[in-house]
Amino acid sequence: MQEMRQQWELTAETPRSKPVGTPGIPTSPKQFHSPDTVGSLDKAPTLTELHQHAHDATNALHRMKHEQEEIQNEEKMTSVAEIQEQLDQHHLPDTVGSMDKTTSHMELQQQLQAAQVSAAPARIHQGAAPNEGDDQYLMEVNKQWEQGQAMTSPKQAGILLRTPPQQHSNNNKSSTPTKSSPSRHLDEDVVEDSPSNLQDVNEAASPQGYRTVHNITYQSPSSISTNIGQSPILSSGKSEDLEVDSPTKPEELETGPAVRPKVRPTSSPHSDTARRASPIQQDVAQEDMPEGQYSGKVALREYQKELARSALLGKNAIITCATGSGKTLVSALVAERAWSEAKRKDLPFKALFIVPIRNLTKQQKDQFEMLFPLGVVQEIGDTEELSETLKKRDIVMLTAQIVVNSLKAGSLDLTDLDQLILDECHHTTLDHPYNQIMRYYLLKKAELALANPHQKSLPQVIGLTASLGVGGSGNALQHLIELSASLDASRVDHVKENKDELRRHVFTPDAIHILSGQPRKPHDPFSTALDSLMQRLESKVFPDTCPYDRGTQQCENWIVERVKEAEAKTMRNELIVAQYLFDFNRALRLFTKLRAADAIAFLDEKMYQSRAELKGPPKLPIDKFCYQQFDQIREELCVYAEEEETQFPNPMLQQLRSLLIQKFNEPESYGIVLTQQRRETEAIVQYVEEQDVLQGKMRAKRLVGQGKLEDKAITDAQQMAVLKSFRKGLSSEDGCNLLVATDVAQEGLDMPKCNFVIRYDFVSNEIGSVQARGRARAKDAECYLLVTAGSTNERRELENQEKEAFMIEALNEMDQLTQVDFDSRVKAEQAKQLENWKVKQKNKSTRRSLFEAKDVKVYCRQCNRAVCDGTHIVHKGSNYICREPSLPDKCEIVCKKPQVYRTTDNIGLLFCGNPTCRNQYGPIIKYKKGQEETAYGMNVKSFLFDFGDGELRGIAKLSKAPFDITEELYE
């Protein structure tokens, strides 16, 4: 965002003249796919008229060619520019478009083609066109664009002033923006903090004394294609978290699908359908490509123009480029171009900019508002319906879950939109909300193909991402095809021609420094005490003790298996002991990465704070035994914690301290420390703030995802406050220059350029590695990984390096495919995806009919107390709730400070009413929209189910329950 503003300020100094757009050139993506006629008049031309115009134009061009040959024969020195000027001045009357307009020979040929197409079904918007004629068309388009660029005056490189709001008053009657705030509903679907995933929690074991084991050399971001995206990029400043990739040569553009016009339907020209934006089919010449003059405030750089090509041609595309490269700006300029053309023709334009997490909505809105008049762009409000917001605003920023909810409720029709822009589009996989949206899109596309294609059309889809990933199969090229199929993309655009310019403007470290060393000393008093405690508890109820080292992922997996066995056999003593063991093992794992005091704080919270909420100590004998065993060793643990810093310091924390001292001795340093769990961020902030040597040079704050407050999450407002503080730096009293964050800081959020990024024993997938490195964007910035030698995290990072190389190879392989081959693969994959989805839906329907809801009984997982039956469970919005009337009387209600969301508030917690049980059932939810209701959420992991056979079993997800659950639509 900061670099984007700097680019704007520099270009703003150059005075600009108002751009002269070619009246009929299609700029709105919707125009390529709407049912309007080819021209801008109500009257449609006949085939005879078009044949005559084409014939006249051909004769005129022959005459011009003959004149040119005569000039050459007479050896007159006529430049190419002069000949082009003569050709430009030679026009024929245009009876198809507006009466002031002149039409070239190619325009008439394209209009004739469009009229002929009207006899057959028009093409629904899709990413690929198998017509070889399209290749020739795009070849001509590209040649004309390159010629136009060569002839462009240097004076055309400036920017324009923003269009005054009053110029748009006819089409934008609501001039006062509605106060809005970020929306909710995606936290359940996007993993932000990698809390306790067994595969993501890594074992910490190995030697001592840190050393630099690897300096892994990476290709610079300009040469690494980490995202699959094909859409024309404009050349200008950066947005906030923008991404980089590889190139797109002009000659490769000729393989793209041709832009085909839709013919006006026979309905009244004043009808709503007839008023939908539709382009005039004509030559796409140099003035159609981004030159900077089309933006109200920003001119694009050349690599951004390269990224924007496909999108400006109205094609569905994925744009992939490094963080900080300006992908959001590119999409904003593509949208502004389409919006301006629609408004010029007095046609409606509606677009959605979709983000995975809600605090990105305001950030992206701020970027778009640099190009649009006030009142055009809005993030979704706290209480506003999407359908109501779209009536007042043309472009809406919102989370994917809101779109999914609106589609399910039937309040949103995709054919009413002109553009869908999906930020961080690599999430379009599996059952992510992005993929749910695109499933609606592909099903609607298939439906329209069978219906009258002139009635409605689908919006253009533009995906933005910094890293595409390689997918679960490991076949990177196939993953690109799958992602393109999911997004209906015909191109994956990355920087190929302007890599040098990209390197000049976007810096990403070329190397990751892996600092590996030994873990804590073995047999220290703290881990020895907890290890002995766990062994005593295991011997109390289990026939065999854990065969793995305690404090490791393998031990945690063993404990989880004991929990499942105890639940299946209704063995309450074993279940209670296993839950204590889980907490103690977690404390040991924290101890390997942090301090003893941090592990004790975790156990105190689990043992004492939760007890206070339940109003009393444990009452069951086995519960009392476990509780007392910990109480007896707690004082011993505290004594060790006081001596730890001098006798048994954590070598990994010492390495972190040394690295921070080194970095903050440099002037104006900004940095990020990334770690796996929210609790770890709190501990690290406390640790670094206690270091006297860093006083006055560093202030740290934590940035984590949204969720339960008891899980150390923070709210929307707190996230924004932390980011604002980080931008201020030490120059402000409330500023900071170090963020300690979970993986929520890796993706999308607008941050200052950082001098360093340290991943503290934290490795995600190859996408996360690319994004983390992309945060170190300051010149000469560096990225580090602190791990124990030979650990799982060290191995995973090396694997991620290989996967990044596979991503680059896959993009290069994709570039070698012909457009026809690429299109055929994408279409085959789309058919496969839709078929798989239909099979899943059929299986879901079959599964839900296995049992009658009235026969299903629900019990407390801990004490087997009856809770409700299946008929009382309702799926409302994104929550599963219980409507058993007597439930509040059977439970313990604990009120909490409300967690406020867009459509609901969490106002408390519900616990099992059995005085000897401490099971938490779920949140108390207040629904704010429509008819207000206070409901009781159900955490599926807190319950066991009897399906009529007397056997109690758990369910992984209520969405996969083998009985029918009532659905209540709620946005």
Q: 468 vs 260, which has greater pLDDT?
A: 468
Q: 467 vs 275, which has greater pLDDT?
A: 467
Model confidence at 22, in pLDDT bands (50, 70, 90)? very low
φ, ψ (nearest 5 deg) of residue 420: -125, 120
Instruction: Give the span between the Cα atoms of 416 and 434, in whole angstroms.
Output: 18
Beta-bridge partners for 765: none
Model confidence at 299, in pLDDT bands (50, 70, 90)? confident
Q: 716 vs 65, which has greater pLDDT?
A: 716
Instruction: Give the span between the Cα atoms of 402 and 405, in whole angstroms.
Output: 5
Q: Is the pLDDT of residue 124 over 70?
A: no
Exposure of 314 in the CB half-sphere (CA atoms within 13 A): 34
What local confidence, expressed as pLDDT, does residue 231 receive?
33
Q: Is the pLDDT of residue 122 over 60?
A: no
What local confidence, expressed as pLDDT, does residue 68 receive?
58
What local confidence, expressed as pLDDT, does residue 790 receive?
87
- Residue 419 tokens read as 């553009």
Query: For the segment 329-388, what is each residue's pLDDT rounded down to a tens digit?
Result: 999 999 999 999 999 999 999 999 999 988 788 888 988 988 999 899 999 865 578 988
Strand, helix or coil for residue 449 = helix
- Residue 795 tokens read as 């191995």
Strand, helix or coil for residue 688 = helix
What local confidence, expressed as pLDDT, does residue 38 receive?
30
Instruction: Give the span between the Cα atoms of 228 and 111, in whole angstroms.
Output: 33
Q: Is the pLDDT of residue 200 over 60?
A: no
What local confidence, expressed as pLDDT, does residue 74 receive?
46
Of all residues in the chain, what percent carry a pLDDT higher than 70?
A: 67
Q: Which of 516, 575, 398, 400 is nearest to 952 (CA)?
A: 575
What local confidence, expressed as pLDDT, does residue 174 receive?
38
Query: For the segment 652-673, what is each residue's pLDDT rounded down to a tens digit?
Result: 999 999 999 999 998 889 999 9
What local confidence, expressed as pLDDT, does residue 9 receive?
47
Query: For the segment 174-187, what is each residue's pLDDT rounded down to a tens digit?
Result: 333 333 333 333 33
Instruction: Give the span between the Cα atoms of 554 and 549, in whole angstroms.
Output: 8
Q: Once rounded to an integer, what is the mean pLDDT over residues 479-485?
A: 96
User: How high is the mean pLDDT of the chain?
Assistant: 74
Q: Is the pLDDT of residue 268 over 60?
A: no
CA angle 452, 458, 463 (to 5 degrees): 155
Instruction: Give the span between the Cα atoms of 195 and 218, in whole angstroms.
Output: 29
Model confidence at 897, in pLDDT bands (50, 70, 90)? confident
Query: For the segment 433-463, what is each residue's pLDDT rounded down to a tens digit?
Result: 999 999 999 999 998 888 765 667 899 999 9
What local confidence, expressed as pLDDT, does residue 736 receive?
94
Model confidence at 924, in pLDDT bands (50, 70, 90)? very high
Model confidence at 916, in pLDDT bands (50, 70, 90)? confident
What local confidence, expressed as pLDDT, does residue 53 receive?
57
Burial class (CB in 10 A: 0-12, 13-18, 19+), 437: buried
Q: Once rounded to an integer, what is the mean pLDDT over residues 426-434?
A: 93
What local confidence, expressed as pLDDT, does residue 522 receive?
82
Other beta carbons less than 10 A from residue 48's beta carbon: 8
Q: Are 434 and 427 in contact (CB under 8 A)?
A: yes
